[in-house]
Structure 1
Amino acid sequence: MNGIFTSQEYYQILQHITDALYVIALKPSGEIGQFVEVNEAACLQSGYSREELLQLKPNDMLASDRNNIDDLLNKHVMTGKTITMELLQKHKYDDPFPVEVNTQLITLNNNQQYIVSIVRDIRARKETENKLHESTKKLHSLFAFNPDIIFTINPDGYFSDVNPAAEKVLKYPKKDIAHIEYLSIIAEPYVEMTQKYFENILRGKIVHFEVVVISKDDEHIELDITAVPIIIDDKIIGAIGVGRDITLQNATRRKLLESEQQYRSLFENNIDPVITFAMDGTFIYLNQATEELTGFNKDELIGETFLPHIIPEELEKTQKEFAEALKGKPHQYETCMYNKMGEKVYLHITLIPIMVDNNMTGIHCIGKDITEKRQIEARLNYMAFHDYLTGLPNQHLFQKDFKKAMKDAKKFDSELALFFLDLDRFKAINDSLGHETGDLLLKKIAQRLEALLDNNAEVYRYGGDEFIILLNNANEKEAEVLAKKILVDFSISYDLNGVDVVVTPSVGISMYPHNGVDKKNLIRKADNAMYHAKLLGKNNFQFYQGNMRNKVNENFEMESMLRKALEQDELLLVYQPQVNASGNNVVGVEALIRWKNEKLGMVSPGEFIPMAEETGLIIPIGEWVIRTACLQNKAWQNQGFEPITMSVNLSIRQFYQSNLAAKVEEILLETGLNPVYLELEITESMAMQADTATKVLNDLKKLGVKIAMDDFGTGYSSLNYLRNFPIDHLKIDQSFIRDISQNEEDQNIITSIIALGHNLNIKLVAEGVETKEQRDFLVENGCDVLQGYYFSRPVEHSEIPAFIRSFLHIN
């Protein structure tokens, strides 16, 4: 029977097939010959004409090293099998490209055998497969490196996979996870709720909830879970979820009384900025929190590099930190950037590498806004090195600057001058015009001194009405020129709220290296020279001379009397109550020493305590104070009063005596006072030797006593001290309290100190509370304990019981 198509028609059909078709003739020997026919699609696909292709063999079309195509064809096709393979085919003009070849052996009636190959261009498919592979690797990277738990559960409720974070949190190894039903690790109160959420997932819903799970070692862990159904071919085959450990966060949230901050997921709803960077630092992805923090929207940042947004001072460091993260390890650092408004934003950055086939393809970035923390630190660090009242550098900064000045003087073989300046009649001005006017005068003097000095000189407030000037690279003649300028400048009156006041200085000068080669000697000799200037009538300057009498010698008589004060029972303690701000009850008293001498009368602690420090008498006096205070506190308890805390000030010399802790323990045993009712107050200056101070404080804390830092904020504090010292109370210096009702800056400083203390679990005590306005402000802003004349002046021990009773009655 004849076919329905002619040979010409068969040829036309062959040419209209859209896939490339090649016909290869087999020789009688079975050897593969040349192409005997190709269609138009083959010519278009390869770039060769039909005539050119009919001159070629299959191997001539291959671009790979796979030259054994004949063997492959013989092995499979000659057995009658149809084979499909992927090869790299040449193109006459362009680059080689991947193809899929489907080959079959056919035999015609004349026993002539041909191999027919259909060749399809699979470049588009390969590109799709590669993109899918890349996406899969990125997803795996996020799965493996994610600090949150990621898990999958099958429809029967058993875990099918978890990431390393889940193994770490749940304490179950991955090899055992398939044998665990998810309900078996849910805490009992959450089982029914969790089961309902799982059922909702299997119905195609997305769920978000908090739950408590129990790890393998019975630890209860609070998790924030977001879970979605796994859908393949419109069929739900399980659930996948992300869980973040929020145990600590929830504890903090409960402590902060229902904080408004709600936990959000790591991705779009994360409260912290989440960014993905390309290897060159350009933005690939950012969440809404990033937009809110920076002020830029996604369209403004995607494709741009982060570098222009970093402040210049941090740019080089930030580039180095980013380069470190590009080495493949998670990395953390802090930096600062400008937001869209041009404001500085400080950030704590966590960088996580994105790994694909062991190669890094980008960086995940999580940022934490630490701007407020940095501002508090900057303010406290400024306070640590500057006098609050005048804004001048303080003793702490003087010590640092002096070390550098000495180093430079030695290096360049130069001289320097140290000026010790004390104001004449300042106490009289302060007493007659009031402390507020006295403070104003000190501010104006500080401004005048700063304006007077050149770049090679710096002025420091040393304390009270004393100033130190450090004049670098200057000889005695140049120092004399400056001293004369100071005297002339001080002859000009100050306008103090309508009152014209002239205050003169007495100036003592010591020279390095002629008068000494260390700070202690130079200060002492400049101080002696200043004292000599006062003896000569004040309002003059004197260089230190070897024949000058030390001003301490002038006080031999007082020192002799002070040595006998303990023996003659001339010392006494008075007590100033401390009031609980929230409960309005007396929670403690501060013991304050007084000296009543028959000849000298009532001597101020400001006069005899420095002498006691210098002579070493402070050690027995301090021991007497602690013992007397403990005995008195125990006596009040024996009278039936509720126990209160007795606060006792430690001097710096007393603090650093080698047996302080042993002596305190001995006194506590001797007096029978419970250690929790004794509080020892240190000053910020004692923190200068941080390592030694830490050991002393830890030894005292082991006894069970409390530790308070007195006069906080007056110039020595550092965040490191507060972090490392076992401090129970911070006593805000009264200089901050004085103008609290009128001075907004004072208010901001006090609220910052209170917030800092509470963040460190330290209670705040405000000293010098004298008015109802001061009390109300401190109570409203969370200060814990108040002390000052508003409640009571320091009184004798016999008046304390009556005060406690009357205070409770009134309040």
Structure 2
Amino acid sequence: MKFNFIDLKSYEAHNACRTLRLISFAGALLSPIITFFWYPPSGYFATVSCIIYILIFSSLFILTIKNNFVKNNAAFFLISLYIITSGATIFFAYVNNFMDIQLWLISFLLLITTFSMNNTKFIKVYLATMLILTISVLYLLKDPIVSREKSIIILVIFIVVGYTNIKLRITYQNILKEKEEHYRGLVESSLIGVFIIKNKRLIYINPYLEHLLGYSLEDLQDIDVINLFHGDDELDVFNTLNSGPNKSLDDHYQFRIHNKYGDIIHVEISFAFLNDENSVSFIGTVLDITKQKKAEEQIRHMAYYDALTSLPNRHMLTDYLSQRIVMNKANNHRVAVIFIDLDRFKLINDTLGHNYGDKLLQETALRLKSCIGQNDIVSRYGGDEFVIIIDNTDENSVSQISNRIVSQFVNPFKLGSREVYTTPSIGISFYPEDGQDVDTLIKNADTAMYRAKDNGKNNYQFYTMMLNKEVSRKMDLQTSLRKALDKNEFVLHYQPQFDLKSGLVYGLEALLRWESPSNGLVSPLEFIPLCEETGLIISIGEWVIDAACRQNKIWKEAGYPFNHIAVNVSAIQLKHPGFYYMLTDTLKKLGMDPQHLVLEVTESVMQDLNTSVVINKLISSGIRVAIDDFGTGYSSLRLLKNVKPSIIKIDPSFTRDIIKNNDSLVILKHILNMGHELNCIIIAEGIEYEQQVSLLNKLGCDIGQGYLFSKPLPGESIKKFFDDKLLTHF
């Protein structure tokens, strides 16, 4: 059955009721006027008739306000009133000499009209016919008992009023029909679902909602509306449908519904209750928000999960750890934070490319997940850093997990056609002893991880308070380092190198010292690595070379008898693209002979092919190069093949042991013989005893350096040193 958005019968009844009310009021008001002032007085009969008219019209007026039956059937009462009034008019006007044929004709019309009260076309015909018949009767009859003119006027007024009312009703009905079609077009072409429910049964759904659900309205007739909703939402739907007519269109609800094919659809529903005295009815709209929900879920996943590894990201880690801290405050359980950093990841990423680096991170995520329990989480903290949270645990359990993690990295990672190796450095902190909040726990685990790296990598370390002090000092030193050069806090000390045969000064090694106002005299072993980590070694190294070369020029011009000044350089300096040009420009600017400068480079630095190229370029320009700490690397002999150094400096570990360790003596003898065969000058470092000097002389060592001869001296003490040495050799 076709559903009507506008109830035409109700509107027609309402309109007819208003018209009946108006006519009843007018009839009650005009009846005495017409009876006593329009027609001649006719005594008792006229008075009784007038009272009857007033009672009838007044009763109808009251019934149109109070009685629902009259309200709903006002059109019938209105047509009946027309018929009775027109019949009474004719009857009273021509009661004495009515013609039989006209009486039967009028009676027939009255009867037909009674059965056709809602047929407005027929009623119009009836009114017109009544007008013609009445006028013809008035003029055909010889002696009417009332004035023909007055009767005609009354009847014409009655018919005009009736016709106008019918005309208005027809116009109003047409307007309602147009609105009905308009509303239907809007609703049925809408891209939003529309439904009407009466007593928990659907009585209308628009085509869009039919398409969304996969059901037609007929299919839904025997289905309880609540059964269309997801089981978890049924209670909310039930409460909504039974909440009464106190809801408005501002009420929006998000539910999940099942369509005919079993798919779950996310919808947003708006309800508005309808005024219906006989049932609980309401209209609603349904908006499909499935795509929106999927987009929200995708955004949520992007916000809380790492796109590359699909692991929880830093935000989710922070939220989760915060919840664990709150929950474990009451039960005194411990929470472990395991911070993992991949060793050599940057080298793999830079060498093989980011695609291989990404694959390595993905494989790492899988291996880490296999090391933990179902109630633990592993997250990607950023870059090549991962964090694992273990709830309700202790050192024993965490050590087992950490060992499992280390063992997972023994096997290579297969990235396409390549195999790569990496190892984990792991730091561990515990709530509550190592921190009461997320930031502190992660920071302390990170600190422990760096200790693992310092201890050779591929191991795990627990956080301790001592580590925190070390890190705090390291940060203070890094901060002070950045200002030290501008504040002239760096100075050079010089340690003489002696010819073991003549006892004369051979050269001076420039050694950097940092006199920090806040930290005192800082050891080079402590601040040089920080310079390399922060990149400050470039600017500080330039200052060292410039200051040493200037001092060399001053002392040479003063006539001090020494061969060269030696300066230590790092791999970072040698790899810097401007290092070679900076060095040669400095020598040119000062007019210094390149032979008077020696660059000391460790074996580990020279193993890099790129730095070897730069070193050979420096040698070609006349600058001498010394291999420092020779004999400690695993490829010392190969270095002598790739680079032609001028000087070989024997590591102090060999010099210290030659007195007591015969093996060290044998190794030292072979190094000296090999170096002399390559035309290299041999310098033995770490000489502290006369016995060492005697043995080195016998073995043919050229130069000696150590505290036996002199400790490193500040620049201003060198003049006195040379003056003393001119008078006496060592």
Tell me, yes or no, whether TM beats 0.5. no
Structure whose residues are more often helix by fraction = 2
Larger-Rg structure: 2
TM range (shorter): 0.3 to 0.5
TM-score with structure 2 setting the length: 0.42
TM-score, length-scaled by structure 1:
0.38
